[in-house]
Structure 1
Amino acid sequence: MAAILALAGSNSSTSVNYKLVKHTVSLVQGHEIQLLDMSRYPFPMFSEDEEKQNGYINSLVELKHDFQRANAAVISVSEHNGSPSAYFKNVLDWLSRLERKFLQDTKVLLMATSPGGRGAVGSLGIVEALLPRFGAEIVATFSLPSFHQNFDNEKGIVDEDLRDQHQKALNAFLESLK
């Protein structure tokens, strides 16, 4: 049994990426899941001055420990103007200051979704290239385009082809944990 940390790279209380993560981990059995709602984790904007003056807040240290206790992570990233949200980039900046390889030996299912037809693939690509710098192994990726047309809060992913793609990515991720 693996310990899986699950979160969306968004601090929005109505995050579609959080809904996708929550749905995804609801399909996982036989593993310990820790689902984080990042809208409850406010972090100051990273700067060396902030770091020198105030150090590291407790929630940041706890988040680093959550990552380090996990064998794997399910992360879905939001997109703002073709890039990861400033919030998620800020979280990565802070975590990497605490410990550069905070994701060492962590297997990751990386996802993205957005209301638009591209499904946040710009953000997905950037984060897919970035996370290995911190020690992550990206095992599988999935993008869900047009979230509001392709997702139902009770049924999950409603488009059959997208549902199959999602399941294949999840299966590859879960297989890597054996």
Structure 2
Amino acid sequence: MSSTLRQATASYAGTVKTSCTLIFQHGDIVQHAATPTYAAEVPLAFVELDDLVRWPERLFLRQTFSFTHFYQEAIMKLLAFAASSSKKSVNKQLVTYAAHLVAGAEVEVLDLNDYELPLFSVDKEADLGKPALALAFLDKIANSDAILISFAEHNGSYSAAYKNLFDWCSRANGKVFQGKPMVMLSTSPGARGGASVLASATTSAPFFGGQLKASLSVPTFYENFDVEKQELKNEELKEKLLAALATLA
């Protein structure tokens, strides 16, 4: 095989240091890097295999090549958090576990304790304006590709910590969720698994700019979740969770 690519309509010069699959005209395939930042595919390429070396677990192209097609598939930036400020939050455990089930996602799990604000009122708003922490939380949403939330239920409704932060954020941007695709979860030690608060959250999400893709309530948390292994042990619920998360792809 020749060491150049012919009849090219685009060119790429430099070192490819990413996860990539090169597809050669004669069917040879060389792949892949361990932790991809994006995937590249070059169809119908003529290239000498000697021009490819691994170092370490990365593919390098040592020459300048031209090729017919080149495209990138960006990794999803998934923002996850529990709507709870409890340090031992069962919803924090569930949402952290669920977020890391999303294949290929770049996951960031937030802690509401990092966004603690004074109790919202119009008087406080007049004094404080738009607090930096509320704007920072909105920025996290803006810079994400998708959102995963697990809701704690307090007396049939949202936790005070989440509702307060949400109120501050909604005053800065009424479309709090900013058009992001979302999956909403809930859990509790009880048999309903936070179903009441989840119903409220899923009903209101579109009004606040959320593209709700799926939702799931996990009942009797300590019966269905292995706290030591930090994973669901109920296979039926796990299948439902995976199906819900797949809607973010």
Alignment partner, residue 209 of structure 2: 135
Higher relative contact order (CA 8 A, sep 6+): 1
State whether structure 2 residue 222 is matched by structure 1 residue 166: no
Distance 1:102 1:132 in 2: 10
Query: Residue 91 of structure 2 contacts residue 188 of structure 2 at CA under 8 Å; is this kept in 1?
Result: yes
Q: TM-score, normalised by structure 1?
A: 0.93
Unaligned runs of 5+ residues in structure 2 are: 1-74
Distance 2:177 2:241 in 1: 23
Deviation at 1:56, TM superposition (A): 2.7
Query: Residue 68 of structure 1 contacts residue 102 of structure 1 at CA under 8 Å; is this kept in 2?
Result: no
Distance 1:11 1:41 in 2: 10
Q: Which amino acid aligns with 2:233?
A: V
Alignment partner, residue 96 of structure 2: 22
Q: Which amino acid aligns with 1:162?
A: L
Correspondence 1:26-105 to 2 at 5 A: 26-105=100-179
Deviation at 1:87, TM superposition (A): 1.8
Deviation at 1:124, TM superposition (A): 0.1
Where 2:204 maps in the other structure, the secondary structure is: helix
Deviation at 1:135, TM superposition (A): 0.6
Q: TM-score, normalised by structure 2?
A: 0.67
Deviation at 1:155, TM superposition (A): 4.9
Q: Rg: which structure is higher?
A: 2
Where 1:59 maps in the other structure, the secondary structure is: helix
Query: Residue 71 of structure 1 contacts residue 105 of structure 1 at CA under 8 Å; is this kept in 2?
Result: no
Q: Which amino acid aligns with 2:92?
A: Y
Runs of 4+ in 1 over 6 A off after TM superposition: none
Aligned length: 174
Deviation at 1:102, TM superposition (A): 2.7
Structure with greater helix share of residues:
1
Residue number among 173, 181, 188 corresponding to 1:114 in the alignment:
188
Unaligned runs of 5+ residues in structure 1 are: none
Distance 1:155 1:85 in 2: 23
Q: Which amino acid aligns with 2:179?
A: D
Deviation at 1:39, TM superposition (A): 2.7
Where 2:149 maps in the other structure, the secondary structure is: strand
